[in-house]
Amino acid sequence: MTNVWDTPLHDLDARTVLALIDTGTIRAEDLVQSCLDRIDAREPLIGAFAYLDPEQAMAEARRADANRDAGRLRGLPVGIKDIFDTLDMPTEYGSEIYQGFRPRRNATAVARIRQAGGIIPGKTATTEFAGLCPSKTRNPRNTEYSPGGSSSGSAAAVADRMLPLAIGTQTGGSIIRPAAFCGVVGYKPSFGMIDRTGVRPAVESLDTIGVFARCVGDAALLASVLGGDPQLGDSADRDFVPRIGLCRTRQWNDADADSQKAVQIAAQKLQSSHGVLRDFTTPQVFHDLLESIATIYNYGTLNSTMSEYLHNPSQLSAETLQLIEAGLQVTPQALCSARQHVAQAACAFDQVMVDSGFDVLITPATVGEAPQGLTSTGDSLFNKVWTALGVPALTIPHLTGANGLPLGLQIIGRRNDDRRVTASAAWIESVLAIK
């Protein structure tokens, strides 16, 4: 169905269709049908979903239309990464071991979406156990390229206008990287802001629930529902001009020329729009931090997949087995040292952000464009550190690379200062004229 402007409903952003539903201009049933029609047309090519239940989605839409007090997400379709437990849909964790598995209860995040009136058409595709083995999903911007991972299906579904919103998780770069590759907004809140009960763990000390949307305001809305912070949902509407640090990071030379140029052009535009922008240098303790993070990641993967490794090793991918074998080599001393290193880096980062007076930092979101082919989900080099520190990270699409694929601008803030990050990101989005 189209609206009075002849725009298909599935092409509209979340807050726009919410307003149309609230005023009675359209029905939730109309929106969901438009999204399902889009999925029906595009899913054979994109492969964004692990499971779909159109009949249930339409029934939920009719209930939303009948209940004007359904909640802040009333009538909005939301994709759920297939590592979140769902009572009424299979949850397979991207693994053949769990084919057809039915959990006994909903993950807390799923329950909150439904309590807020959100509609769940299905489960989005994930890499195996949210790890490194690619899913079937293709990048909607060019299907010969990777959509990133591990939240592959969630990013692709939002990018291809199948859904206005979706949720995923990040352990290394599994929100930011696929969002950047697919050209949508991806937001990883501060560690622990959103309850992970009922989510399959990858690495317990790193896993963070995040969201995908088409604009910062939509991302803030969904995260506010998931995190129980209504003010976060309004933060993108604040009249706020941030103090911004340009953080090239210690990996700057690993970014390709297009990615570097995108950050530098963004910095110039932001400065010319009266944003306060200066260079930011990471603390010395960040030296060799990636090695400590790898130690934690490998051990965490071993811990979370030990049962499958012992009972179903032949059904695990080569990528997962490689991580498990690396985890087996981690000594207690090495793990303790790595955890101490990350804790020291987190404290140092907190202090240098306070001392610098910056509200947020801007950095590359990825090394470059999405890799060609479906054998790799890309490199999370520019995401791992921020995930390990537990700080909020958000990417917005900005320019394209040599192959015409999206590049992302990553925005970093202080831990538990998410409202400032989303407010800053909304201002940056407006200055860069991103739609």
Residue 307 has a pLDDT of: 98
Q: What is the pLDDT of residues 258-276, one digit of tens each?
A: 999 999 999 999 999 877 7
Instruction: Judge if 257 and 114 occupy the same domain.
Output: no
Q: Is residue 114 in some structural domain? A: yes
Q: Given pLDDT bands bounded at 50, 70 and 90, which one contains residue 16?
A: very high
Residue 308: both structure tokens together = 């499958």
Tell me if residue 200 falls in helix, strand or coil: coil
Q: Is residue 299 in some structural domain? A: no
What amino acid is encoded at 91 in this protein? T
Q: What is the pLDDT of residues 375-416, one digit of tens each?
A: 999 999 999 999 999 999 999 999 999 999 999 999 999 999
Q: Given pLDDT bands bounded at 50, 70 and 90, which one contains residue 434?
A: low
Residue 55 has a pLDDT of: 98
* Matching residue, tokens 């490194």: 132
Residue 69 has a pLDDT of: 85
Q: Is residue 314 in some structural domain? A: no
Tell me if residue 304 falls in helix, strand or coil: helix
Is 235 noted as a catalytic residue in this protein?
Answer: no
Q: Is residue 311 in some structural domain? A: no
Q: What is the pLDDT of residues 42-62, one digit of tens each?
A: 999 999 999 999 999 999 999
Identify the helix (H) or strand (E) that includes residue 362. Answer: strand 360-364
Residue 241: both structure tokens together = 């001009």
Report which of 67, 69, 73 is spatially closest to residue 117, judged by C-alpha positions: 73
Instruction: Judge if 94 and 218 occupy the same domain.
Output: yes
Q: What is the pLDDT of residues 337-376, one digit of tens each?
A: 999 999 999 999 999 999 999 999 999 999 999 999 999 9
Is 81 noted as a catalytic residue in this protein?
Answer: yes
Q: Given pLDDT bands bounded at 50, 70 and 90, which one contains residue 70?
A: confident
Residue 331: both structure tokens together = 């000594």
Whether this model's pTM surpasses 0.95 = yes
CATH of the domain at 196: 3.90.1300.10
Instruction: Judge if 343 and 223 occupy the same domain.
Output: no
Residue 60: both structure tokens together = 């939920």
Residue 274 has a pLDDT of: 78
The one catalytic residue among 174, 224, 259, 304: 174
Give mean pLDDT, residues 73-82: 99
pLDDT value at 3 more than 70: no
The one catalytic residue among 95, 146, 150, 317: 150
What amino acid is encoded at 337 in this protein? S
* Matching residue, tokens 């590592």: 83
Least trusted range by pLDDT, from 71-75, 177-181, 209-213, 237-241: 237-241
Number of domains in the chain: 2
Q: Is residue 297 in some structural domain? A: no
Q: Is residue 130 in some structural domain? A: yes
pLDDT value at 5 more than 80: no
> What are the E-state strand segments in 376-431?
393-400, 406-412
Instruction: Judge if 233 and 360 occupy the same domain.
Output: no
Could you tell me the CA-to-CA distances from 396 to 173, 242, 252, 263, 412 in Å, in that order? 14, 16, 19, 11, 12
DSSP 56-79: HHHHHHHHHHH-TTS-TTTT-BEE
Give mean pLDDT, residues 169-183: 99
Q: Over the chain, what is the mean pLDDT?
A: 96
Q: Is residue 306 in some structural domain? A: no
Residue 381: both structure tokens together = 């080099």
Is 188 noted as a catalytic residue in this protein?
Answer: no
Instruction: Judge if 251 and 212 occupy the same domain.
Output: no
Domain hosting 254: range is 243-287+333-431
Q: Is residue 141 in some structural domain? A: yes
Residue after which a domain boundary falls, among 221, 237, 253: 237
Query: CA 28, CA 18: separation in Å to the nearest integer?
Result: 9
